[in-house]
């Protein structure tokens, strides 16, 4: 009797689980799945004939700025990310040694996390501009000022963008590494040290391997975000230092071509996914694969 | 191998006003097994960590093998240690965990392999050498930690409650195994525990600690038989030593309303606190002279013996009786106490009044 009633009641009703999942599912479909599907469509459809074609990709690749943007984006990642990791690791090891005022250092070093890309770019613009702080200091020291951000000297342009990026985004790595370090029980370090390991031996053989999960997360996050670097370069150099996301923006707004912009967006997504996959594969942790 | 000399060691943790170690001095002979025993917070682990170099003393000195190591970093002391949490490196296979200390000392590969194989054999880990710690049980991880500590040719082996995370059965079997292994390698060992039975069964010497000080240091059986004060008597032994008030005068010991012969050499002490081990009290046949009468509160048969809780002159006494005894709560029984087994303490301070003559 009760079984029948239960069946009757549940037939016309939707399970509460579905109601609970629904809001986020709807949100994901509207804000994520739909735009992505639309992006794919736009990238592979010829805007004039409305047929499937590779014309947008052709236009993207034949644009002289495209390869410059690919090169600059990769160069920035290759130079900036290792430096950021070395810096963040050094800073978090200093914090872990708990010197006087270490809590203050942590908050000071984490401040850039709260600064927006564009604001960070503008801050560094005020330093590197022709009449900026750096040149003022140089002038007062009797050194000839230099046009750091001029298109005539791509080397200093790159250096300025890289410096600003390191300043802005190292804090993210720092926060992840600090929390990772705090999660490692100190007995491991103590055991190694009693067994005769010096500080550097402990760092390389104990701390860093145990920190691997955190480093992996930081590396993936940082790399994906680095592919999206845009506002800093825009603020410092205008169009002088093209990056992939900057080009996407230029095609979408200035050139009013959402199809080629979509192709750019897909390129960025593809590279990001590939890198994340490679990281996960190369850095996978054998000791966690419990087989028996 | 080496001896350890600790002189007037004082440790105050930063931000605390209490002395974690209060003027501790001891000498641990070469090859000796020293157990630091005490309740939690007594400073035994602090002392061990200072020997290890993981904490630095506020004042005092530590010398290992004649070399002053007081402020030497841990990795320069040539020690090895087993931690309470085992601290087996999770990212290294068992083989590389055991060989860690040797690899750090840059020993030849062949020697590392031989020693790892030897230790694995000794601790029954041979089949697990290529596993990661996550694939081992708690007892096996513990074995890895011990193997890792014994393969290095260390001057001193330190152990911080290595058995406390094992279940009761495993603890008992591993205890005897540990004793055999340490005897075999013969390294000077300092072992921290809060378990009195471990201290008695393992140590050549036991240092009982309380509030940062060493209360008594000696051979385990001496410490058991001749506690320096009521704290030691109450802490060591299961059940702990019985304590009750009495008085001694004219060669007689008065407890409650009863009178028996006093221990030899103690004639006129007045009010004292008496201590007797449960196994030194015998249940006597009715009519036996020089006995105390008590009332059974609880009788707990334990197999090898029966533990009686007896009410005597307003005090509860634990009595270890023969397993064949038939008695129930409410029964009146006669208790005979061997006068030689009675320990006498100052009623105020709890310090032994016999200890000075004996020790």
Chain B closest-CA separation from residue A99 CA (Å):
14
Is residue B241 within 8 A of residue B281, CB to CB? The reply is no
Q: Is residue A26 part of a domain?
A: no
Residues in B lying within 8 Å of A, measured between beta carbons: 52-54, 73-75, 77-81, 83, 85, 87, 89-93, 100-101, 104-105, 131-135, 148-149, 152, 158
Is residue B272 within 8 A of residue B303, CB to CB? The reply is no
Q: What is the pLDDT of residues A119-167, one digit of tens each?
A: 988 999 999 988 889 988 988 988 888 888 887 788 888 899 999 999 9
Residue B299: which CATH number?
Answer: 2.40.50.140
Cβ neighbors of A242 (< 8 A, separation 6 or more) are: A65, A68, A69, A72, A233
**pLDDT value of residue A292:** 38
DSSP 8-state class, residue B12: -
A197–B75 CB contact, under 8 Å:
yes
**pLDDT value of residue A269:** 92
Does A36 have pLDDT greater than 80?
Answer: yes
List, as ranges, residues 178-197 from A with C-beta within 8 Å of B: 185, 187-188, 190-197
**pLDDT digit string (tens) for chain B, length 359 residues:** 689 999 999 999 988 888 999 999 999 999 999 999 999 989 999 999 999 999 999 999 999 999 999 999 999 999 999 999 999 999 999 999 999 999 999 999 999 999 999 999 988 899 999 999 999 998 899 999 999 999 998 999 999 999 888 888 888 888 988 999 999 889 999 999 999 999 999 999 999 999 999 999 999 999 999 999 999 999 998 889 999 888 888 777 887 777 777 776 666 677 888 899 999 998 888 877 778 888 999 999 998 899 999 988 788 889 999 888 888 888 888 888 888 888 888 888 888 887 544 43
**pLDDT value of residue A6:** 53
With CA atoms as reference, the chain A residue closest to B137 would be A292
Its domain, for residue A74, covers 38-291
Residue B207: which CATH number?
Answer: 3.40.50.300
CA distance B200 to B225: 11
Q: Which candidate, B284, B307, B166, places its Cα nearest to that of B238?
A: B307
Angle at B38 between CA B36 and CA B42, to 5 degrees: 100
Does A9 have pLDDT greater than 90?
Answer: no
Tell me what percent of the residues of chain A surpass a pLDDT of 70.
93
Tell me what percent of the residues of chain A surpass a pLDDT of 90.
37
Using the 3D structure, point to which of B202, B235, B268 is the last residue of a domain. B235
Please check whether residues B27 and B150 belong to one and the same domain. yes
With CA atoms as reference, the chain B residue closest to A206 would be B89
Using the 3D structure, point to which of B217, B235, B253 is the last residue of a domain. B235
Using the 3D structure, point to which of B216, B235, B254 is the last residue of a domain. B235
A286–B73 CB contact, under 8 Å:
no
**pLDDT value of residue B212:** 92
SS3 assignment, position B124: coil
Q: Is residue A32 part of a domain?
A: no
Going B40 to B43 to B49 to B54, the CA torsion angle's sign is: positive
DSSP 8-state class, residue B223: H
Residue A187: which CATH number?
Answer: 1.10.3720.10
HSE, side-chain direction, 13 A CA sphere, residue B311: 10
Q: Is residue A14 part of a domain?
A: no
Q: Is residue A173 part of a domain?
A: yes
SS3 assignment, position B180: helix
With CA atoms as reference, the chain B residue closest to A186 would be B87
Please check whether residues B160 and B265 belong to one and the same domain. no
Please check whether residues B277 and B312 belong to one and the same domain. yes
Please check whether residues B198 and B279 belong to one and the same domain. no
**pLDDT value of residue B267:** 64
Task: Compare CB distances from A197 to B85, B87, B104 and report the shortest one's residue.
Answer: B104
Does A10 have pLDDT greater than 60?
Answer: no
Please check whether residues B137 and B230 belong to one and the same domain. yes
Chain A closest-CA separation from residue B11 CA (Å):
19
Return the higher-pLDDT residue of A176 and A288: A176
**pLDDT value of residue A24:** 93
Overall domain count for chain A = 1
Judged by phi (left if over 0) then psi (alpha if -120 to 50, else beta), residue B41 lies in: left
Does A288 have pLDDT greater than 90?
Answer: no
Please give the C-alpha separations between residue B226 and each of A205, B178, B254, in angstroms, as whole numbers: 49, 27, 22
Is residue B83 within 8 A of residue B144, CB to CB? The reply is no
Overall domain count for chain B = 2
Tell me the DSSP string of A35-78: HHHHHHHHHHB-TTT-SB-SHHHHHHHHSHHHHHHHHHHHHHHH
Please check whether residues B353 and B281 belong to one and the same domain. yes
Total residues belonging to chain B: 359
A-B contacts at Cβ under 8 angstroms:
78
**pLDDT value of residue B355:** 52
**pLDDT value of residue A291:** 44
Q: What is the pTM of this model?
A: 0.81
Its domain, for residue B260, covers 242-358
Residue with tokens 């506020």: B58
Q: Is residue A5 part of a domain?
A: no
Q: What is the ipTM of this complex?
A: 0.84
Give the mean pLDDT of A108-115: 88
A220 Cα distance to chain centroid: 8
Q: What is the pLDDT of residues A220-236, one digit of tens each?
A: 899 988 888 888 888 88
Touching check for A239 and chain B: CB below 8 Å?
A: no
Does A2 have pLDDT greater than 70?
Answer: no
Please check whether residues B199 and B57 belong to one and the same domain. yes
B90–A206 CB contact, under 8 Å:
no
Q: Which candidate, B203, B213, B242, B250, places its Cα nearest to that of B335?
A: B242
Is residue A204 within 8 A of residue A115, CB to CB? The reply is no
Does A12 have pLDDT greater than 80?
Answer: no
């Amino acid at each position: 009797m009760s079984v029948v009633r239960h069946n009757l009641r549940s037939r016309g009703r939707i399970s509460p689980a579905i109601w609970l999942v629904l809001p986020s599912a709807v949100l994901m479909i509207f804000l994520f799945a739909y735009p992505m599907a639309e992006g794919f469509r736009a990238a592979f459809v010829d805007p004039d004939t409305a047929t499937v074609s590779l014309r947008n990709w052709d236009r993207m690749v034949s644009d002289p700025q495209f390869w410059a943007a690919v090169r600059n984006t990769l160069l920035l990642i290759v130079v900036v990310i290792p430096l950021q990791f070395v810096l963040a690791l050094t800073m978090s090891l200093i914090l872990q040694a708990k010197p006087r005022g270490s809590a203050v250092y942590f908050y000071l070093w984490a401040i850039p996390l709260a600064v927006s890309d564009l604001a960070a770019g503008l801050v560094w613009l005020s330093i590197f501009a022709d009449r900026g702080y750096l040149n003022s200091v140089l002038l007062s020291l009797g050194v000839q000022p230099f046009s750091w951000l001029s298109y005539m000297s791509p080397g200093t342009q790159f250096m300025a963008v890289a410096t600003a990026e390191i300043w802005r985004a190292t804090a993210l790595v720092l926060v992840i590494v600090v929390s990772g370090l705090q999660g490692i029980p100190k007995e491991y370090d103590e055991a190694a040290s009693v067994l005769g390991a010096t500080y550097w031996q402990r760092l390389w053989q104990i701390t860093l391997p145990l920190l691997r999960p955190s480093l992996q997360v930081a590396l993936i996050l940082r790399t994906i975000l680095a592919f999206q670097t845009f506002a800093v370069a825009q603020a410092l150099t205008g169009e002088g230092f093209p990056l992939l996301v900057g080009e996407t923006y230029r095609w979408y707004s200035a050139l009013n071509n959402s199809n080629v912009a979509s192709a750019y967006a897909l390129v960025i997504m593809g590279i990001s996914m590939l890198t994340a996959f490679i990281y996960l594969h190369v850095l996978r942790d054998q000791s966690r694969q419990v087989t028996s | 191998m080496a001896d350890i000399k600790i002189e007037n060691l004082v440790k105050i943790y930063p931000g605390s006003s209490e002395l974690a170690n209060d003027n501790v001095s001891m000498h641990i002979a070469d090859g000796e097994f020293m157990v630091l025993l005490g309740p939690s917070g007594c400073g035994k682990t602090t002392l061990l960590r200072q020997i290890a170099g993981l904490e630095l003393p506020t004042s005092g000195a530590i010398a290992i093998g004649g070399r002053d190591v007081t402020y030497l970093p841990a990795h320069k002391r040539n020690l090895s240690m087993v931690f309470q949490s085992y601290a087996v490196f999770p990212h290294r296979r068992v083989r590389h965990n055991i060989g860690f200390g040797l690899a750090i000392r840059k020993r030849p590969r062949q020697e590392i392999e031989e020693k790892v194989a030897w230790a694995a054999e000794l601790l029954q880990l041979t089949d697990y050498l290529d596993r990661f710690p996550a694939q081992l049980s708690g007892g096996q991880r513990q074995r890895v930690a011990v193997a890792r500590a014994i393969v290095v040719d260390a001057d001193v082996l330190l152990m911080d409650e290595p058995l406390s995370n094992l279940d009761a059965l495993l603890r008992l079997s591993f205890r005897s195994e540990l004793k055999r292994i340490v005897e075999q390698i013969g390294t000077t060992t300092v072992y921290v525990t809060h378990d009195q039975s471990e201290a008695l069964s393992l140590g050549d010497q036991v240092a009982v600690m309380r509030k940062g000080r060493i209360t008594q240091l000696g051979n385990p059986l001496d410490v058991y038989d001749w506690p320096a004060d009521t704290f030691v008597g109450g802490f060591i032994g299961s059940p702990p030593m019985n304590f009750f008030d009495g008085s001694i005068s004219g060669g007689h010991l008065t407890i409650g309303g009863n009178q028996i012969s006093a221990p030899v050499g103690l004639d006129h002490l007045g009010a004292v606190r008496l201590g007797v081990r449960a196994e030194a009290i015998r249940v006597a046949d009715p009519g036996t002279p020089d006995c105390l009468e008590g009332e059974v509160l609880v009788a707990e048969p334990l197999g090898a013996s029966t533990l009686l809780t007896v009410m005597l002159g307003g005090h509860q006494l634990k009595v270890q009786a023969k397993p064949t005894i038939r008695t129930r709560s409410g029964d009146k029984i006669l208790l005979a106490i061997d006068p030689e087994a009675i320990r006498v303490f100052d009623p105020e301070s709890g310090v032994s009044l016999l200890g000075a003559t004996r020790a």
